[in-house]
């Protein structure tokens, strides 16, 4: 039976059958450090060799200088043992130093690749995934992988080599007792196999639960004002306590499983050691073993206790790394659906006229049956401003998102100056299209950095002009002016201030096409009028497609398109539509949300987690 994850969905069968497959796929990240890893492995093996030589030196001491009462020989052999100990300590230092630098470099490279891949994935992917799940993959999961590849894997190789070398030496000292010690590996193998199978499922469950808890914490932090305003703190605290309790119970179960297995790993070598002591004493009494050989035999066997005891930790660490690699590969294996097509071209800004056309465009979100847009045909001429009006949920924002290819059309095409936008390089297309969303996103960086996000080469005059156009001059009055950090999601600013900064950011790039998703909804009437007056000057020279709900915003447009249930119902001037289309008048006066409108968001699983393809 395939173990289930914390969300009730089964762990993928391929991962259950081959738990180390995805961990092995990360080996390219070890290649830049191959020489370093080989060096530290040599140092580790040399240190092990030095430690294995000490019991053999002790044998010589007992059977030689001590038996013959030779003080000079005792000093020489004692000095040799001391030198071996110092060499082992030095080699351990070299190994630890090389391990740390290589493992951290490998983790940094993997984290950079995951972050870059997340940026390439379309918004539809992020709609389906909880942010906490992604956050846990790029932080805690990578740390687990780093620990195993830098320590667990090395100790696994080192302990196996140590075990084999010690068994060979024991067999040379006394074949029968040596084979007895070798036979103790059989129960250890069976215990390890059973432990690995159960621990793999428990590790995956715990890592998924950690992602769920991270999501709860992030949502609480972002929605703190709403939570306090509605007095829902106790309810959210209860949800968090339930998630934390589930994580706690899984962690305790993992600890119990590890403790039980570790006890068995301790039991087997200790029982073997007891048998060896009794049998060895009998053999020494009968002359089959010298006292020195018995001391060396027991000392060598004692060196096996640590490798066996650490086996539980190594297996546990390996299974956690394997499940972490599964989770990381779930992200890396998701191919970006919006990429540059073969033969994609650039459209230079000076050559762009800005003619935007939707030709029989249809769109549906992944996993949904009902389309959001159906056969939309619409043209916006260069320098023209077209307003999109429609009831909530009719697909206005979705239509706008198709222009910069935040989503990909599922039918028809969108063209810019006759070029299918899918045939333009994404970097070129997004330089030509400026976007301002209804819910503006500001990053936890300075006002200047937020403004120049799409045009990092902008100078102070460009920024000042954009701020003046968006009536966002308040930015100069912030405590440190444009160097002021606005805080996460820009929550240190009001909604209207965030919208004005987002609008300034959109126009700063001097786009050929300006896409505005109701960018003035959070402004007061006075500020809105000032921004609209400034916008009129910009819109004279720019093709603009804007979503509007207020008559004052619609007045900015040369033409208006009415969108009903994903279809273009009417196109014309504001005055003509007011006079001839009752639905248009009703929307501008009430903006109703009719029953039965299509779903306009990506589906999620029953627990809120995105539906991830296996």
Q: What is the pLDDT of residues 499-553, one digit of tens each?
A: 888 888 888 878 899 998 887 776 777 777 777 777 777 787 789 999 988 888 8
Query: Helix 460-469 crosses helix 525-539 at what angle (to 10 degrees)?
Result: 120
The answer, yes or no, to whether residue 421 has pLDDT greater than 70, is: yes
Query: pTM for the full model?
Result: 0.72
Q: CA angle, corner 122, sides to 509 and 356, nearest 5?
A: 50
Q: How would residue 5 be classed by pLDDT, with cut points 50, 70 and 90?
A: very low
Separation of alpha carbons 320 and 20, rounded Å: 10
- Tokens 């600013």 belong to residue: 493
Higher pLDDT, 199 or 606: 199
For 452-471, what is each residue's pLDDT tens digit? 988 888 999 999 988 988 88
3-state secondary structure 197-262: HHHHHHHHHHHHHHHHHHHHHHHHHHCHHHHHHHCCHHHHHHHHHHHHHHHHHHHHHHHHHHHHHH
- Contacts by residues 520-527 (CB-CB < 8 Å, ≥ 24 positions apart): 520/550, 520/553, 521/438, 521/549, 521/550, 522/494, 522/495, 522/496, 522/498, 523/496, 523/499, 524/496, 527/471, 527/496, 527/500
**Domain limits, the chain:** 25-210+256-332, 351-437+511-590
What architecture (CATH level 2) is domain 351-437+511-590? 3-Layer(aba) Sandwich (3.40)
Mean pLDDT (the chain) is: 81
Position of tokens 């009494």?
285
Question: 25-210+256-332 has which CATH code?
Answer: 1.20.1560.10
Length of the chain counted residue by residue: 614
For 337-383, what is each residue's pLDDT tens digit? 899 999 999 998 888 899 999 999 999 988 788 899 999 999 999 99
Token pair for 295:
């001391």
């Amino acid at each position: 039976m395939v173990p289930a994850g914390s969300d009730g969905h089964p762990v993928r069968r391929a991962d259950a059958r081959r738990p180390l497959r995805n961990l092995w796929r990360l080996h390219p990240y070890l290649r830049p450090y191959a020489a370093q890893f080989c060096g530290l492995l040599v140092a580790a093996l040399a240190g092990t060799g030095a430690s294995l030589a000490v019991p053999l030196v002790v044998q010589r001491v007992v059977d030689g200088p001590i038996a013959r009462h030779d003080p000079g020989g005792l000093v020489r052999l004692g000095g040799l043992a001391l030198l071996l100990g110092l060499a082992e300590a030095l080699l351990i230092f070299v190994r630890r130093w090389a391990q740390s630098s290589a493992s951290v470099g490998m983790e940094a490279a993997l984290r950079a690749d995951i972050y870059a891949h997340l940026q390439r994935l379309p918004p539809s992917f992020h709609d389906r995934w909880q942010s906490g799940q992604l956050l846990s993959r790029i932080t805690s999961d990578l740390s687990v992988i780093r620990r195993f590849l830098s320590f667990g894997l090395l100790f696994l190789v080192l302990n196996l080599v140590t075990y084999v070398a010690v068994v060979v030496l024991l067999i040379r000292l006394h074949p029968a007792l040596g084979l007895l010690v070798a036979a103790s590996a059989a129960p250890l193998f069976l215990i390890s196999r059973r432990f690995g199978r159960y621990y793999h499922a428990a590790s995956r469950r715990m890592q998924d639960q950690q992602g769920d808890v991270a999501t709860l914490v992030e949502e609480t932090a972002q929605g703190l004002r709403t939570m306090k305003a509605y007095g829902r703190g106790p309810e959210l605290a209860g949800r968090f306590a339930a998630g934390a309790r589930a994580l706690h119970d899984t962690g305790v179960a993992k600890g119990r499983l590890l403790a039980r297995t570790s006890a068995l790993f301790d039991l087997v070598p200790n029982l073997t050691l007891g048998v060896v002591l009794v049998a060895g004493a009998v053999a020494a009494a009968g002359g089959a073993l010298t006292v020195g050989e018995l001391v060396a035999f027991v000392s060598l066997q004692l060196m096996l206790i640590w490798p066996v005891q650490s086996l539980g930790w190594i297996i546990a660490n390996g299974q956690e790394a394997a499940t972490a690699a599964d989770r990381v590969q779930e992200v890396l294996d998701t191919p970006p659906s919006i990429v540059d097509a073969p033969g994609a071209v650039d459209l230079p800004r000076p050559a762009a006229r800005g003619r935007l056309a939707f030709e029989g465009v249809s769109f549906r979100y992944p996993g949904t049956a009902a389309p959001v847009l159906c056969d939309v045909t619409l043209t916006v001429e260069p320098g023209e401003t077209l307003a999109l009006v429609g009831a909530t949920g009719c697909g206005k924002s979705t239509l706008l998102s198709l222009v910069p290819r935040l989503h990909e059309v599922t039918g028809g095409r969108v063209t810019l100056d006759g070029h299918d936008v899918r045939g333009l390089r994404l970097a070129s297309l997004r330089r030509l299209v400026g976007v301002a969303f209804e819910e503006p996103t500001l990053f936890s960086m300075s006002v200047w950095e937020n403004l120049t996000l799409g045009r990092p080469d902008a100078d102070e005059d460009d920024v000042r002009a954009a701020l003046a156009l968006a009536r966002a001059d308040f930015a100069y009055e912030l405590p440190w002016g444009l160097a002021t950090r606005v805080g996460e999601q820009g929550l240190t600013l009001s909604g209207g201030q965030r919208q004005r900064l987002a609008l300034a950011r959109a126009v700063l790039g001097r786009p050929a096409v300006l896409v505005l998703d109701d960018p003035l909804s959070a402004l007061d009437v006075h500020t809105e009028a000032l921004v609209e007056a400034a916008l009129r000057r910009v819109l004279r020279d720019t093709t603009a497609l804007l979503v509007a709900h207020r008559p004052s915003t619609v007045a900015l447009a040369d033409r208006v398109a009415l969108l009903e249930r994903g279809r273009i119902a009417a196109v014309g001037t504001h005055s003509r539509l007011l006079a001839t289309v009752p639905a248009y008048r009703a929307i501008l006066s009430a903006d109703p949300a009719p029953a039965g409108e299509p779903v306009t968001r990506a589906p999620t699983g029953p627990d809120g987690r995105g539906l991830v393809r296996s």
